[in-house]
């Protein structure tokens, strides 16, 4: 008979057990870990996030401006896959990215475009997000993108604002389409 090593949550020790080929061993997860989502929930989250990201690409193609930036992809993942987390709430998504852009432009004006300046902008953004009780880690990356890419503020900021509002609205709509989905947002402001 094959042997398998399993870890039990209650004893946190290893024990050797005999497992027949027809027996299924369920892996043990850490205490307090979130449950695995159902296949339907995972499909819903992935398809909603992908759809909104494709919409951002289509908008960018129509106006000949890059609208999809990496931080927005991370935001879409949070909004659609973890809608109850504080990091996914509308204030963090919308205001957080605007704070990130503002910090990026401030550091860009003071120190120019470099990896060093981008790191400073990231730290400044994290500090302001923390003080403003507006957690949204992808917004830190927006500051980095702003410093390293130096986008024109008159074009970038309105597109960033519109994109974040679109992410929030699709999160809201998506949570209403599937009745068993957690309601998004958990709170508006």
pLDDT at 12: 47
For residue 51, tell me if it sits in a domain: yes
Considering the domain boundaries, does residue 21 fall inside one?
A: no
In a domain, 111, yes or no: yes
Q: Report the predicted TM-score, pTM, of the whole model to 2 decimal places.
A: 0.82
pLDDT number for residue 82: 95
What 3-state class would DSSP assign to 7? strand
Domain assignment of residue 154, yes or no: yes
pLDDT tens-place string over residues 1-14: 444 444 444 444 44
Helix (H, G, I), strand (E, B) or coil at 185: coil
**Residue 9 covered by a domain:** no
Q: State residue 32's pLDDT score.
A: 83
Determine the pLDDT at residue 37. 87
132, 95 in Cβ contact below 8 A? yes
Residue 54 lies in a domain: yes
Of 74, 148, 81, nearest in space to 108 by CA: 148
Q: Is residue 7 part of a domain?
A: no
Instruction: Provide the pLDDT for residue 13.
Output: 46
Tell me what pLDDT residue 69 has. 95
CA 169/CA 76 separation, integer angstroms: 11
Number of structural domains, the chain? 1
Instruction: Let me know if residue 89 belongs to a domain.
Output: yes
How is residue 148 written in tokens?
């390293």
- Structural domain boundaries, residue 128: 44-177
pLDDT on residue 26:
61
Low-confidence ranges of the chain (pLDDT < 50): 1-17
């Amino acid at each position: 008979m094959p042997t398998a090593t399993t870890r039990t949550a209650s004893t946190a020790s290893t024990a050797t057990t005999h497992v027949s080929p027809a027996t299924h061993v369920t892996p043990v997860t850490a205490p307090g870990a979130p449950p695995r989502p159902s296949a339907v929930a995972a499909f819903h989250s992935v398809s909603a996030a992908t759809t909104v990201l494709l919409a951002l690409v289509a908008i960018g193609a129509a106006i000949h401006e890059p609208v999809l930036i990496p931080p927005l992809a991370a935001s879409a993942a949070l909004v659609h896959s973890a809608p109850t987390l504080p990091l996914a709430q509308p204030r963090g998504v919308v205001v957080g990215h605007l704070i990130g852009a503002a910090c990026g432009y401030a550091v860009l004006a003071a120190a120019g475009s470099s990896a060093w300046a981008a790191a400073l902008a990231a730290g400044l953004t994290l500090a302001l997000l923390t003080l403003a009780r507006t957690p949204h880690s992808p917004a830190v990356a927006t500051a980095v993108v702003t410093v390293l890419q130096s986008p024109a503020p008159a074009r970038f900021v309105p597109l960033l604002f519109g994109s974040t509002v679109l992410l929030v609205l699709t999160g809201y709509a998506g949570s209403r389409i599937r009745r068993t989905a957690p309601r998004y947002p958990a709170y508006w402001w």
